[in-house]
Amino acid sequence: MWRYFGRKLFVYALTFFVAVTINWMIPRFMPGDPVRSMLARASVGNAEALEAMRAYYSSLFGLDLPVWQQYLNFWGSLLRGDLGTSVWLFPTPVSEVILGAVPYTLGLLVPAILLSWIAGNKFGAFAARGRWLDNTVLPVGYLLTATPYMWLGILLAWSLGIVAGIFPTAGAYGFALQPSLSWAFVSSLVLHWFLPFLSLFLVAFGGWAIGMRNMIIYELEADYSSYLEALGAPRRLVRRYAFRNALLPQLTGLALQLGTIVAGALLTEIVFSYPGLGNLILEALNNRDFFLLQGAFLFIVLGVLIANFVIDVVYVLVDPRVRVQMQGGAA
């Protein structure tokens, strides 16, 4: 058991290392110079002053050092929890900027992922029962999964936001409000949250419903189902077993899909100007803000890895076959 988790942890650590390294490399080898863009913002005419400022900023961000040293420094400060200073929101530390955005992204992602998974599975299993439902669920499900997140987002924003005018289409809360625990603020927060959530939920929901519908039909035709039916077991019992067994591949599917869903959340945030990590990444790109970009990606990598690890653990808990193999492997 521990050997299994030890091996898993090692693989995750390796993934983390590689992901962070790539994450460090990408902004540095991108075209564009952050220091120059900061200087342009300052619009200083004096050439000497300009040179002094360049030297100051370069040493401040550590850009005057050789690349390998920048890399080592990056790991050093990362381990100390220092993600550097944002260029775009200078001089706010990157960690502060990101921590301000993370709750919005999590608030959007966690309910969307979990609810779509639960509802999609329930609904797919339910649909596999009836001919009429089956014939409608399949095409609608395929349509939903094939829809790009942002396109569905734009469609929802246009139909429910602009035409019907029910939901606001931008921001996390009304422009006139300050964050507080008042009724007005919370209701505005929920209203603004709903459309981005819905677009994420719908796309993922279609995929889960189709997956479950196919899996449960397969399980209902499995030998153990036929045997139970021959012995007169009620439909309820057979369905319960089939549903549980069909959930296992769906759990693997969830682990595989996490990355895609996170990417979808980033696009959705941009469509709805939702102040989460996605929006932050867009701003960081536009402002050549290496450090912010790195920090944001770091959080995404961490989130996906942690979620995958949780699924690994859950899988071991729910599937005796994995458990047995592990015990056999450790013995």
Which residues contact another protein (rule: CB under 8 A)? 222-224, 226-234, 236-237, 241, 244-245, 248, 318-321, 324
Q: Which is nearer to another protein, 60 or 248 (CB)?
A: 248
Q: How far is the CB of 127 from another protein (least distance, A)?
A: 18
Q: How far is the CB of 88 from another protein (least distance, A)?
A: 51
Q: How far is the CB of 109 from another protein (least distance, A)?
A: 29
Q: Which is nearer to another protein, 143 or 317 (CB)?
A: 317
Q: Which is nearer to another protein, 55 or 317 (CB)?
A: 317
Q: Which is nearer to another protein, 239 or 288 (CB)?
A: 239
Q: How far is the CB of 209 from another protein (least distance, A)?
A: 22
Give the 3-state DSSP-derived string for the chain, with helices as H, strands as E and coil as C.
CHHHHHHHHHHHHHHHHHHHHHHHHHHHCCCCCHHHHHHHHHCCCCHHHHHHHHHHHHHHHCCCCCHHHHHHHHHHHHHCCCCCECCCCCCCEHHHHHHHHHHHHHHHHHHHHHHHHHHHHHHHHHHCCCHHHHHHHHHHHHHHHHCCHHHHHHHHHHHHHHHCCCCCCCCCCCCCCCCCCCHHHHHHHHHHHHHHHHHHHHHHHHHHHHHHHHHHHHHHCCHHHHHHHHCCCCHHHHHHHHHHHHHHHHHHHHHHHHHHHHHHHHHHHHHCCCCCHHHHHHHHHHCCCHHHHHHHHHHHHHHHHHHHHHHHHHHHHHCHHHHHHHHHHHC
Q: How far is the CB of 213 from another protein (least distance, A)?
A: 18
Q: Which is nearer to another protein, 160 or 311 (CB)?
A: 311
Q: How far is the CB of 152 from another protein (least distance, A)?
A: 35
Q: Which is nearer to another protein, 192 or 213 (CB)?
A: 213
